[in-house]
Amino acid sequence: MRAAAFASSLAVLSLLALAMPAAAAEKTLPNEDGAHVNIGGRVFTRGEYGSPSPGTPVHSSKTEHTHQWPGVYFETRIEGDSVDLSFDDTHNIYRLYVDGQTRQTYARPGKTSITVKGLGAGAHLIRLEKLTESQSERGSFNGFSVKDGRFLAIKPRPRQIEFIGDSYTVGYGNMSGKKQCTPDELHDTTDTSQAYGPLTAKAFDADYQINAFSGRGIVRNYDGFAGDPLPALHPYILFDKKDEYKDDSWKPQIIVIGLGGNDFSTPVKPGEKWKDEAALKADYEASFVAFVKTLRAKHPQAFFLLTKYEGPTVAEEVEKVAAQLKASGETRLDTIGLDGFTLNGCDWHLDSNDHKRISEQLTGYFKTHPDLWQGK
């Protein structure tokens, strides 16, 4: 976002145009036992849940969950001593939790099935989280299966929260411990699960979506590079923009938006569509207002919290956007200032301590406004 080396990283992260047949996205998909998988984030799902064939003692999700947005996770509950995980992913890093405890990390697992044994008797909560950002690559998690056991029902959480943003929201290089990183180091030290969004959501036992893309802004991307700004990508399941995300069960009580650092972190250059910063500001304000109104139409129940960080220009512009929205009749909206960063992550980004600090600030805000969860 403020990175001197960001442009070189983007060269590695160019979008691929891969075609896929249309399919509906679902948050939960039952198998024939009535078991469920809870999916956090946006995935393109193909396949069916259920036993592979009558009499077969293996129950499997039998699916392809293809994803690109960060922060995606998959949960299931089983009764049994082992569970199988199926992957088709040469790019991403995943972390497995069993009953809330870290069990294993899988780096670029490829096309494989992995058996996790020794869980012990009884019921277990299995959770798989995607850690990395995958702008140019797609990954697929192809489901859970159990032998000599069974799936148990699992439901989405009543509380839901969405985070919309850029590299700060992604957790870009947050675990690096240094500011200068190679592209591989950036990839391997980006852990969205330790970014402020998931940390905040977990503090309230809420399901979440992290709809963020490093380098993108409201109208202008970092240093003016070509590509869709975040509002143009937000409606879609994948970055090819072929299939819109539609899920009637996704009704976040809170939507947190942090965008503007990429719009204003570098001066407008000759040849860009804005003749000067004043024109850029006007476009930013109008487009941000329109984006929130589009989200409001989809989520009439939501409360919007607009974050202010990355310098005084962004803070001033976010306040102008909030004022315009309130003047147009918006009542369920506020802004919050976030500061005190050390920026020791890759390319001078937020480090893990910065993310914890932001999460504490957001958690404090939500605790003083418990009505935002609407009784959930």
Q: Which residues are catalytic?
A: 167
The residue among 145, 32, 128 whose CA lies nearest residue 78 is 145
The residue among 56, 117, 54 whose CA lies nearest residue 85 is 117
Write the CA distances from 237 to 12, 66, 148, 157, 317, integer angstroms.
21, 9, 35, 21, 29
Q: Are 163 and 209 in contact (CB under 8 A)?
A: yes
Write the CA distances from 314 to 3, 99, 269, 280, 321, integer angstroms.
17, 41, 18, 12, 10
For tokens 């959480």, the residue is 157
Report how far residue 226's alpha carbon sits from residue 236's, in angstroms, rounded to the nearest whole number: 19
Report how far residue 171's alpha carbon sits from residue 199's, in angstroms, rounded to the nearest whole number: 11
Report how far residue 44's alpha carbon sits from residue 301's, in angstroms, rounded to the nearest whole number: 25
Q: Are 366 and 254 in contact (CB under 8 A)?
A: yes
SS percent in the chain: helix, strand, coil, step 5: 25, 30, 45
